[in-house]
């Protein structure tokens, strides 16, 4: 009897702590609320599942996921290639900081979607404009966190490197870069979420595939359940991608001081 | 070795050295202290100096101690010798050459090992770091690194990362890393201050043995009187800032290893203690200024 009691207690604790409880509560509220409205206005979890079945069976969803993720990854990696070196230089060299930081502090308040029309005009309706948009969205969180990572480096590390014979260039590559890894990594993660968020804007106009396209065009057919499928898919993709990224980071950069939480 | 040095030019020669406070910085700091009028401290020119008129010679192979309370003249002088700080006036020479910037001819062991060693490198790679930067070729590098790691007794731990090491082991990594570059002088800034008493004693003994094996010149900063007498051949006792100076230079006349409980050594330690007290009270008429100085972090190691 005692055993059973503790087992139940343990099970309940896990149920609440793991976040499953939160999802169950959300599903209950969602299902209940949908009961009071039309499915075209708010489809419940059950209808959404039916919608999900449709888009999976027709192969649309997997295709959309593949194309969206491809865009996210390419745009994001391009963003990283621009942002990480920029952040390192801005963080390390005062002159570069004076030259670059004003732009960063200005444009980081202009969301990617603000550039949508402009990018369409400049880069056309093809893939290019979407990738540029995602890259743009990635750059700022990565630059800002990389700069913060560099700024947080203990000056004693530079003194140590110099008194061991390192030149300024050597200490940039052997102290600044590795010591900034935790900051860079935070930037990489936030950059990814920023890239995933901006995929919807990127695919809203001038696209004929992708999760964003699915969400945006489903309203034309009054398929609100497909919109929910798209939303849930985006959330799940982001969640899983971040989890994977954290796992990779905390294994690969174990000794660089990345905290996996 | 010492015979090669002609005349009385030491390893390190400090002549009439002065170091000014950064007045603006200091005043800003003062505003946070209660009951102190910053202008009272900065009104006359001589009050602007942390160090003033310092003269010192450290001979080749000497184990030299800077002793003084945390009034911080000693850490400032150490930072100038290491090349991290600019001096205001006078000269600081290493083997007759003016010191202007840090370099591998002066190995530095920092107070806080956690900020000084590189956590992303193994013990081996940390020790190898300086040699790599100086483009020492591979085979020679390997030999030097292995010797240095052996010297500080970290052979079994050479593949570990700093996060897997104790505080005492991390300081050994720092010592090995500096010695690998074969510096002219080893500069140590209260390196054992954060260690427990037991570990500190072990490391002190090992440092003496490393010094005897390598015959390196060592400059060691401490505020611990016992440590000074236990380790040093020569002790420079610092007066309090502002206008800090070396108030007394003492030669410790005992052979190693020393026993601090021995009657003669204890008697000697008491004498050094008195000199230290006297040095600290040298500006006895400026009590307010002194307490203000002691409360700030400017240029302090701690």
Q: Given CB atoms, is A164 within the 8 Å cutoff of chain B?
A: yes
Q: Spell out the domains of chain B, with CATH numbers in brackets.
A: 10-99+187-192+213-302 (3.40.50.300)
A174 contacts on B by Cβ (under 8 Å): 129, 133
Burial A61-76 (b: 16+ CB within 10 A, else e): beebbebbbebbebbb
Query: What is the reported pLDDT for B282?
Result: 65
Residue-by-residue DSSP string for A36-99 = TS-TTT---HHHHHHHHHHHHHTTHHHHHHHHHHHHHHHHHHHHHHHHHHHHHHHHH-HHHHHH
pLDDT tier for residue B143 given thresholds of 50, 70 and 90: very high
Query: What is the reported pLDDT for B71?
Result: 65
Tell me which residue in B83, B120, B177 faces A256 most closely, judged by beta carbons.
B120
Query: What is the reported pLDDT for B246?
Result: 86
State the alpha helices, DSSP H only, in chain B: 23-30, 38-42, 73-82, 113-116, 123-133, 138-151, 167-180, 197-214, 225-231, 263-280, 287-294
Q: Given CB atoms, is A157 within the 8 Å cutoff of chain B?
A: yes
Task: Quote the CA–CA distance of A178 and A51 in Å, as a whole number.
Answer: 47
- Percent helix, strand, coil in chain A, to 5, is 85, 0, 15
Task: Quote the CA–CA distance of B265 and B267 in Å, as a whole number.
Answer: 5
Question: Is residue B242 a contact partner of residue B236, using CB atoms and an 8 Å limit?
Answer: no
Query: What is the reported pLDDT for B72?
Result: 57
Interface size A-B, in CB pairs within 8 Å, comes to 70
pLDDT tier for residue B50 given thresholds of 50, 70 and 90: confident
Q: What is the pLDDT of residues B237-295, one digit of tens each?
A: 988 777 888 888 899 988 888 888 888 888 899 988 888 888 877 654 444 344 444 44
Task: Quote the CA–CA distance of B279 and B281 in Å, as a whole number.
Answer: 5
- Which of A155, A163, A169, A255 should we substitute to test contact with B (largest number of B Cβ atoms within 10 Å)? A163
- A 166-185 → B contacts, CB under 8 A: 166-167, 170, 174-175, 178-179, 181
Q: Given CB atoms, is A160 within the 8 Å cutoff of chain B?
A: yes
Based on the number of CB atoms within 10 Å of its own CB, is B249 exposed (0-12), middle (13-18) or buried (19 or more)? Answer: middle
When pLDDT is averaged across residues A68-92 and rounded to a whole number, the result is 95
Q: What is the DSSP letter of A261?
A: -
Q: How far apart are the first and last CA of chain A?
A: 37
Q: What residue has token string 């201050």?
A: B193
Task: Quote the CA–CA distance of A133 and A115 in Å, as a whole number.
Answer: 7
Q: Are strands B12-20 and B63-67 parallel, antiparallel or unpaired?
A: unpaired
When pLDDT is averaged across residues B77-86 and rounded to a whole number, the result is 91
Strands laid side by side in the B97-98 sheet? B49-58, B12-20, B89-94, B97-98
Strands laid side by side in the B106-109 sheet? B106-109, B185-189, B217-222, B63-67, B234-238, B246-251
Sign of CA dihedral B130, B57, B243, B48: negative
Question: In this predicted complex, what is the ipTM?
Answer: 0.82
Based on the number of CB atoms within 10 Å of its own CB, is A257 exposed (0-12), middle (13-18) or buried (19 or more)? Answer: middle
Query: What is the reported pLDDT for B114?
Result: 92
Domain range list for chain A: 43-256
Task: Quote the CA–CA distance of A47 and A223 in Å, as a whole number.
Answer: 10
Query: What is the reported pLDDT for B124?
Result: 96
Query: What is the reported pLDDT for B240?
Result: 79
- Residue in chain B closest to A170 (alpha carbons) equals B133
pLDDT at B301 over 60: no
Reply yes or no: is the peptide bond before residue A165 cis, omega within 30 of 0: no
The larger pLDDT score, comparing residue B36 to residue A198, is at: A198
The dihedrals phi and psi of B183, each to the nearest 5 degrees, come to -70, 160
Distance from CA of A261 to the nearest CA of B (A): 19
Task: Quote the CA–CA distance of B84 and B99 in Å, as a whole number.
Answer: 10
pLDDT tier for residue B49 given thresholds of 50, 70 and 90: confident
Query: What is the reported pLDDT for A78?
Result: 97
Query: What is the reported pLDDT for A53?
Result: 92
Question: Is residue A258 a contact partner of residue A182, using CB atoms and an 8 Å limit?
Answer: yes
Task: Quote the CA–CA distance of B188 and B231 in Å, as a whole number.
Answer: 12
pLDDT at A1 over 80: no
Distance from CA of A162 to the nearest CA of B (A): 6
CATH number for A43-256: choose from 1.20.200.10, 1.10.3720.10, 3.40.50.720, 1.10.10.10: 1.10.3720.10
Question: Is residue B106 a contact partner of residue B81, using CB atoms and an 8 Å limit?
Answer: yes
Helix, strand or coil for residue A138? helix
């Amino acid at each position: 009897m005692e055993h059973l009691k503790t087992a139940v207690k343990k099970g309940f604790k896990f149920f609440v702590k793991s976040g499953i409880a939160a999802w169950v509560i959300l599903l209950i509220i969602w299902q209940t609320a949908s009961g009071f409205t039309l499915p075209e206005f708010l489809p419940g979890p059950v209808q959404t599942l039916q919608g999900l079945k449709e888009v999976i069976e027709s192969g649309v969803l997997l295709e959309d996921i593949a194309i969206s993720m491809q865009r996210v990854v390419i745009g994001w990696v391009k963003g990283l290639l621009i942002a990480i070196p920029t952040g390192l230089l801005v963080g390390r060299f005062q002159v570069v900081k004076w030259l670059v930081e004003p732009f960063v502090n200005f444009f980081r308040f202009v969301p990617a979607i603000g550039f949508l029309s402009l990018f369409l005009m400049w880069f056309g309706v093809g893939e290019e404009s979407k990738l540029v948009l995602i890259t743009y969205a990635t750059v700022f969180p990565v630059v800002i966190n990389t700069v913060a990572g560099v700024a947080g480096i203990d000056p004693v590390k530079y003194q140590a490197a110099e008194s061991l014979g390192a030149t300024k260039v050597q200490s940039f590559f052997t102290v600044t870069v590795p010591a900034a890894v935790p900051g860079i990594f935070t930037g990489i993660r936030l950059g990814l979420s920023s890239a995933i968020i901006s995929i919807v804007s990127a695919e809203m106009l001038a696209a004929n595939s992708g999760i964003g396209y699915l969400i945006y065009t489903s309203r034309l057919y009054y398929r609100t359940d497909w919109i929910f499928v798209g939303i849930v898919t985006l959330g799940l993709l982001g969640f899983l991608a971040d989890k994977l990224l954290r796992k990779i980071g905390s294994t690969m950069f174990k000794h660089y001081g990345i905290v996996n939480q | 070795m010492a015979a090669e040095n002609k005349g009385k030019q030491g390893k390190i020669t400090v002549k009439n050295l002065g170091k000014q406070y950064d007045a603006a910085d200091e005043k800003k700091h003062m505003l946070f202290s209660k009951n102190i009028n910053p202008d009272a401290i900065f009104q006359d020119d001589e009050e602007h100096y942390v160090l003033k008129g310092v003269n010192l010679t450290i001979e080749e192979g000497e184990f030299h101690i800077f002793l003084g309370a945390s009034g911080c003249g000693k850490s400032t002088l150490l930072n100038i010798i290491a090349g991290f700080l600019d001096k205001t006036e006078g000269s600081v020479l290493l083997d007759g050459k003016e010191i202007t910037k840090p370099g591998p001819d002066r190995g530095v062991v920092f107070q806080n090992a956690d900020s000084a060693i590189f956590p992303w490198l193994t013990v081996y790679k940390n020790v190898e770091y300086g040699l790599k930067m100086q483009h020492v070729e591979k085979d020679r590098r390997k030999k030097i690194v292995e010797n240095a790691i052996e010297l500080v007794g970290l052979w079994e731990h050479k593949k570990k990362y700093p996060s897997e090491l104790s505080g005492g082991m991390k300081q050994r990594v720092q010592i090995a890393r500096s010695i690998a570059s074969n510096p002219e002088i080893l500069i140590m800034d209260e390196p054992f201050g954060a260690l427990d008493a037991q570990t500190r004693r072990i490391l002190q003994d090992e440092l003496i043995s490393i010094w005897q094996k390598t015959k390196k010149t060592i400059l060691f900063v401490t505020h611990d009187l016992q440590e000074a007498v236990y380790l040093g051949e020569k002790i420079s006792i610092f007066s309090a800032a502002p206008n800090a100076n070396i108030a007394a230079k003492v030669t410790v006349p005992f052979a190693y290893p020393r026993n601090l409980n021995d009657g003669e050594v204890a008697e000697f330690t008491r004498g050094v203690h008195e000199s230290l007290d006297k040095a600290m009270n040298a500006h006895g008429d400026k009590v307010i200024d002194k307490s203000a100085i002691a409360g700030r972090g400017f240029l302090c190691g701690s």
